[in-house]
Each structure stands twice: as C-alpha cells, then as structure tokens.
A and B are shown apart, each in its own frame.
Chain A
Amino acid sequence: MGLKRYLITRGLTMFGVLMITLLLTISLVGSNMDTILKQGIIYQVRAEITENTTIAQGFNNPEEFEKFVQQKIDERVKTLGLDTPWYSPQRLGYTMYKILILDFGNATFLTSDSGSSNVGEIIFEKMPKTILLFTTATIIISIIGILLGAASSNKIGSKTDRITSTFAVISSSFPVWWIGMLMIFVFAFVYQIFPARATPSIEPDEPGYILALLYHMTLPVITIVLIGFGAWAYLVRNFMVGIMQEDFISAKKTIGISKKKIVYSHALRNAAPPIVTILALSLSGSLGGAIITEAVFDWPGMGRLYFEAISVMDLPVIIGSTYILTVLFLVSIFIADLLYGYFDPRVRTSS
C-alpha cells in the first residue's frame, strides 16, 4: 500500500467522519430547529401583514382575516419545505448540501460585531481570533517544550530533568480554565496588571486595535502555556531518550562528537517527525478545549461563540460552528497523518 492509497483511505475516512458528525448534529438539534423556523415564519408573516394596512381593511370580520393569515403562513411553510419533517430524506439531503457549501443560513439571536446575522459571517469573524490565540500559545509551548525536553534528556536524572517531569505530571492535572480563573483573580484584580475580560474595549477599525488585542491576549496565552509546556517537555524528553539509545548515536559517541552536539543536532533532528505530528494533533486538541478557555477569559473567538450559541439555543450557529470545528479538527488530524506517513514509511506499508 503506497503513500497515495494510504492518504486516499485516510481522506475518505475523514470525509465520512465529517458527514457522520453533520448527520449527528442535525439529528440532535433538528426537531428544535423546525419549531424555531416555523415560529420565525409566523412572526414574519404577521409583521408583513400588519405593516400593510390595506390588506386588513379589505376584511369584514376578524375570523376571515385570521383565516387569510393562516393561509399565508401555510403557503410560506410549504414553499420552504417545512411541511415535511426534518428527517425526511429530501430535507436532510438539502440541509447537508447547504452546510457542505458553507451556507449556514441566518442566526436566530446572535450577530457578528458588524451587526450581520449571517452565520457564515459570524463564524469567519470569530475564527481568526481563536486561531491567533491558540496558534500563538502552541508555538510558544512547543519552543519551550522542545528546548526544555532536550535539556532534560541531555542530563537524565538531573535537577532540570526531575523538575520538568514533576511539573509535567502536576500541571496536566489542573484544568486550564481553573488556572485561568486564578490568573484573572491574581493578575486582574489583586494586582491590576492585565484586563479581566479578554475582549478588547476598542473597535476593530480604530488605530491601536492590534496592540490592544495583543495586550488582552497576554493573560490567556500565559495560562495556556503554563499548563501546556510541561507535558510537551516531558514528551520530547521521552522521544529523545529513546533515540539516544539507538546505535547510530552510540556510534557518534564513540567517534568522539560532544554529547551536547549529538543531543541538539543529531538526536533532535531524528525526534522531529513525531514532534511535528504531535504538534498538529495538539493544535486540534486545543480547539475543543477552546470552548471552556474562551468562556473563562471572554475571548471573542469560536469557543465563546459556541458557548453563547448553546446558552441561547441559536441552532444555525450551533450547527455551523460544530461543522467548522470538526473541519478544523479533521484537517489537523489529516495533516498529522500526512506528516506521520511521510516521515515514517512503516505506517503506509503495514496493513
């Protein structure tokens, strides 16, 4: 099985997952969505008719008028295809097709910062901020982690090594959002260094917005890094320890290359494939966690959007952001797979 075939099977699996996710999401929220849509139509029809006073004047008694309104509503329901239930094949297919081409419709309650209620616009306004926050944090984590991991694998059993390992275990037991609450408590209220809410207070088009955004981003980034780098360092250390036992390293040692040079150039280069793979995976993992982290820091990204959508049951937004989150998640898994298959030929040959 060549690399091509490997990638094709993986790609197909991913697409299947995407479809299943969509189907699951729609079936979980579908019946609620129908009720909400129908209510929307009733509201819309009534608003249109009351605005146009000439229609109302044409009727003699209220019953006749009511009948007319009901008829209009039924017409509208029928044209939108809402008279068949959400699980009927046509409607399910139509909904899924719409979502596939990124047409999520309009949000029921939420709006973007610019006031648009188009779900796609809302999501694409929030997504860059999530990517900004978590990519920055992940890059910092991986730099600290790789350096610290290499340093501790250089001297196994040393103070650095023991502190790193202990820190890795302890830090990974704390929930990020709880550390976030503590950080806000300490650095926003006891010592007022950073703002408590991570949403910048000035408008995006004003000058100095980027600086304000970075300033507001500091506390969340510090928190995510604090919780994340220990585990990374520990992981890198373990990879390095494994590689340091390989024959070619021992050979280099016997030639007389200094240990420092072996660790930082030869061994680290060989540890690169799994490290890069895990980098891609951890990015995707942090996306899911974004929901809680962003809720704590009030960071205006996808995670908070998702949380807000859930709390007011804004179904189009829920479906849209679940879809986008899944896509992001799958893309990073796919990239991880790709890198893993590229670096490690054993993956693509074994069946």
Chain B
Amino acid sequence: MSSVSTQEIKKEFLKSKLGLTGVFILSGLILVSIITISVIPASTFQEWNNPEKWISYPKTSVPSWVNFLSSDKIPEHKIINAEVFQSQENGIFLTSQQFGVYFDYDDFPSDFIFEMKTKYTDSHIVQIKVIRPDGITLELLSTSLPHSDNETIHNQRYFSTDSMIKKNLNTYKDDFGFDFKIGTTEIIFSELYQNQIQKGNYIFIVDIYGIGKDVEVLESKMILGGKAYGLMGTDELRRDLAIGLLWGTPLALFIGISVSIGSVVVGLIYGVYSGYKGKKTDEVMMRFNDVIYALPALPFLIILAVTISNSIFLMIGFLMIFSWVGIAKVSRSMSLQIKTRQYIEAAKIMGQKDSKIIFRHILPQLLPYAFASIAISVPAAITTEAGLSFLGLGDPSFPTWGQILHDANTYGAAAQGFWWWIVPPGILIAITGLAFVFIGNALDAIVNPKLKR
C-alpha cells in the first residue's frame, strides 16, 4: 500500500464535494450538541421520564410552526405570567393577578389552569373572573385558600374543568344564544349569539382578598391549553419533543463515535498483531475472530441488555464486541503485506521489540484506513443502538432518538396521525448516519486500500 501523506489526504478531501457535505452536516450536529449541553439545563433530560415535570405542557400538540402553513390557526399552548397589583382599602388587602392573552386562533383552547404558590397566614378569599373582548365580565370562581394559623406556603391549582366554574357560568345562560352543554372554555371564548370563537384580548383576573393580612404571591402562572406547542410539538406524555431531540444529538454522536473508535482501535491492534506474529498465534486468533463473526449480533445484544444491564455505557461496550471483527480481518491482511517489507525485516534483525515494530512501523501506515473505517462504522452503531432502544431496551435515564420512536410506537402515534412524533427522530438518525457515510466514502476513495479481502 502506498502511504498517503496527511497533506495529500487533506488536499484530496477538500476536492470531494460529498466529503465536504459530510463535514458540513457533522459540524452542524456538533454545534447543536454544544449548544444543547451548554444552554439547556441538564435537569430537562434527567427528568425526561418524570411525568411531574411535564404536567404544565400540552398533550400531543403539533409544532407551533404548523400555523404558518395552514389557514386555520390551531390554538397555541401558552404559559402566561401574571402581573400582580396590590392595594389596600379599609383594612382589606387586595392582591390582584392579571393574565392578559390575545386570542386569535380558529379553535377553542382545550382548557386552562391557574397555578400559584402563595405565602400567607389566616384565610383568604379567591375570586377568579375574566374580561372578554366584548367587554362582558364573567365571574368564574369564588373560593378561599385553606385556613392556616401559622405562616404557610401553599401550592394551589385551579382547573377550567372545575365543576364550580361550570355552575357559575350557568348563571349567564340567558345572555348566550346557545345551549350550555359544552366545555367551559367553549363558553368563555365564545361569541354571545352563537357558539363561535370571539377573537381579541382576554384578561383573566385572580383576586385574593385578605382581612388585615397580606398574601405574598411567590409564583403564579396561567396555562392556556392549546394544541400547538414549541418547535417540535409534544408527545402523549406531554414532553417537549424539541428537548428530547436536542439531547438525542450529543448522545447519538457519543454512542456512534465511541463505539467506532473503540472497535477500530481494538480491531486494528488485534489484526495487525495476528498478521505480524503469523503461524499458530495467527491461526488461533483468526479462529476466535471467526467465532465472533458468526455470532448473531442482534439476538445477543438483546439478551445482554435484558440480563446484564441496559446502561448506555455498557451498551457501548456490547456494541464494540460485535463490531471490531471485520476491521481485524482487513488490518491482518494489510499487516501481512507490510511485514514482508525490508525495513521491517531490518528492524527485526536489529532486535527491536515486537510491540515497538507494530506501534512504530506498521500501525502508522494503517492510520488513513483506520480513519476511514471509523467514519464508516459510526452509522451502524447509531442505528443498532436506536434499534435496541426502539425495542424498549434503551437506557431510560437518557432520551435517545430510538427511545422517542419506541414511545411513539407504544402510544400508536402512526394510528393517530402524530407525524411530528415519528418523522423528526428518524430523519435525524439518517442525517447523522449520512454525514459519516459521506466523510467515510470520501476518505475511503482517497486512501483506497486495494488490499481489502
């Protein structure tokens, strides 16, 4: 094999359009990974499987950019923060939280939730009302915070599905020109004369009255449940898919690259040593190689994942077991050729150690081939891991693309038409694979070891 210098490889590579495309895609993916790791808090993926975390998100919402493509605007899921006003009159303290929302969608919001965290003593009265675009004010709820003698911090949620709200709305029945046998949001956001969406500014007001004592609002938000959310939508478990997909990128790169580097290094050293030693050593080592080669990989990976562990790091190890074999075969035949060269013979006669000959004189010559094989073997590692995750054998503490697809399959995403749950993870897997295939093919064409087989 003619050794190609790094300079030459670089020059040739820059000429290859395919290779450059691959590098371009890969740098994009790396950039996404870096941004994800540094910007998005790690708690988001640690709590990926914790339903508590995602409770204020909508269920199976389409990505919000869908609204740009269609004429019918799907209501977006909104989390609105309060503006808090405080006043005092005759010893009665009023804390008023106001949530303003401009609603101009073509469908009713599915529901709304008020969430607040308050610090208070004694008892306080809570009143919720809404001022609609047509100027009508609807009283929704009158209730009180639970009585407490000591200072206490209290979490409270008010749901639009509360039966009290429905009851209170019934008092306005005569003002509306339609039957009230519908959900509360469909009444609140409706025109008077018929059940049609009234677009415009809505102001939701949560008033807390306290006699002689003030209440401190620590956190307060209103969730207006829609059917569109974020860049990538959400899944059945209300998780923001954008976060899962973003975290999937560094994970896929990590799995793919570590498996391929690991297996190429092992395969290279194994093959070169076997070829260099020859005779009995070679025979034994190659028989072992044949054994691993003939093991059916996927069934074994499944058994290993089920019986030993499905931790992502062990998975990487298991994947390595099955992927170094081919590289060992090729590098053995390469080293068989190189070892007949005269300078190797010379080094041997001079009494250099075997390890030194292998690491100094043989391995460096195989480096270009090694880089090409690293790039080429990444996609297989990524798809195999994705496949295992898809079967539900993935590491539950890390959201990978395969696991997102597994969830999509379990919850029947295809049957219910949740395309945003199925399409993006697969495309990302394919794009990542393609980037490495492009780079690998370009390198392979330059290095072109005709010794293969």
Q: Which residues of A contact B (CB under 8 A)?
A: 13-14, 16-17, 20-21, 24-25, 28-29, 32, 169-170, 172-175, 177-179, 181-182, 184-185, 188-190, 196, 287-289, 291-292, 295-296, 306-307, 310-311, 313, 318, 321-322, 325-326, 329-330, 333
Interface residue? B210 (CB, 8 A) = no
Do residues A181 and B433 form an inter-chain contact, with CB atoms below 8 A? no
Partner of A196, one of B294, B297, B415, B433: B415
CB–CB B387/A175 < 8 A: yes
B414 and A318 contacting across the interface, CB-CB below 8 Å:
no
Chain A binder among B154-162, B299-307, B363-371: B299-307
Q: Is the CB of B294 within 8 A of A291?
A: no
Min C-beta distance of A73 to chain B, whole Å? 27
Give Cα distance in the complex from A184 to B303, angstroms.
28
- Is B57 an interface residue when CB atoms closer than 8 A count as contact? no
Quick one: which of A17, A313, A322 has the most chain B CB within 10 A? A17
In the complex, which of the residues B294, B296, B408, B438 contacts A14, with contact meaning CB atoms closer than 8 Å? B294
Contacts of B308 in A (CB 8 A): 28
Given A13-B287, A175-B429, A325–B302 Cβ distance below 8 Å? Answer: no
CA distance A124 to B387 in the complex (A): 26
- Whether B294 contacts A173 by the Cβ 8 Å rule is no
- List the A side residues contacting B431 at CB < 8 Å: 173
Partner of B302, one of A184, A296, A310, A329: A310
Report the bound CA distance from A189 to B379 in whole Å.
30
Most buried by B among A32, A174, A175, A289: A175
Q: For residue B417, which residues in chain A have a CB less than 8 angstroms away from its CB?
A: 185, 189-190
Q: Is the CB of B294 within 8 A of A13?
A: yes
Whether A28 pairs with B405 at a CB distance below 8 angstroms is: no
Is B202 in contact with chain A by the CB < 8 A criterion?
no
Q: Chain B's nearest CB lies how many Å from the CB of A28?
A: 5
CB 8 Å contact bits of B410-453 with A (1 = contact, 0 = none) = 00011101010011011001110110011001000000000000
Asked if A196 meets B414 with Cβ closer than 8 Å, knowing A175-B387, A292-B387, the reply is yes
| Given A17-B294, A178-B405, also A291-B423 (CB < 8 A) | no
B298 at the interface (CB under 8 A from A): yes
- B415, A329: Cβ atoms under 8 Å? no
Query: What is the distance, in angstroms, from A193's C-beta to the closest C-beta of chain B?
Result: 14
A-B CB proximity, top 3 nearest: A173-B433, A178-B426, A185-B414
With both chains docked as a complex, state the minimum distance between the C-beta of A214 and any C-beta of chain B, in angstroms: 22
Which of B306, B307, B419 has most A Cβ within 10 Å? B307
B346 within 8 A of A: no
State the CA gap A249–B50 with chains docked (Å): 66
What are 11 A-B residue pairs whose CB atoms fall within 8 Å in the complex? Answer: A28-B303, A29-B307, A169-B441, A173-B429, A175-B387, A181-B422, A181-B426, A307-B391, A313-B306, A321-B299, A322-B303
Q: A173-B430, A178-B426, A181-B405 are in contact. Are A189 and B415 (CB under 8 A)?
A: yes
Contacts A173-B434, A181-B426 known; A325 to B387 CB distance under 8 Å?
A: no
Q: What's the minimum C-beta distance from A144 to chain B, rounded to whole angstroms?
A: 21
Partner of B296, one of A172, A188, A325: A325
What's the least CB distance linking B378 to chain A, in Å? 11
**B299 A325 Cβ-Cβ under 8 A:** yes
B434:A329 contact, CB within 8 angstroms: no
Option from B299, B415, B426 in Cβ contact (under 8 Å) with A288: B299
B254, chain A: closest CB distance, angstroms: 18
Q: Cα distance A188–B405 when bound, in Å?
A: 18
Counting chain B CB atoms within 10 Å of each CB, which of A178, A288, A295, A333 scores highest? A178
Report whether B379 and A173 are in contact in the complex, using a CB–CB cutoff of 8 Å. Answer: yes
B345 close to chain A: CB less than 8 A: no
Over the window 271-313 of chain B, the binary record of Cβ atoms lying under 8 Å from chain A Cβ atoms (1 yes, 0 no) is: 0000000000000000100110011111110111011100000
Q: Which residues of A contact B297 (CB under 8 A)?
A: 288
Residues in B whose Cβ lies below 8 Å from that of A313 = 306
Question: Known contacts being A28-B304, A28-B307, A291-B391, is A17 close to B299, with CB within 8 Å?
Answer: no
Known contacts A181-B405, A288-B297; A16 and B422 CB within 8 A of each other: no
| A-chain residues with CB within 8 Å of residue B390 when the two chains form the complex | 175, 177, 292, 295
- The answer to whether A20 and B414 touch across the interface, beta carbons within 8 angstroms, is no
Contact with A along B150-189 (1 / 0, CB 8 A): 0000000000000000000000000000000000000000
**Which of chain A's residues have a CB closer than 8 A to the CB of B291?**
13, 16-17, 20
Residue of B nearest to A19 (CB): B291
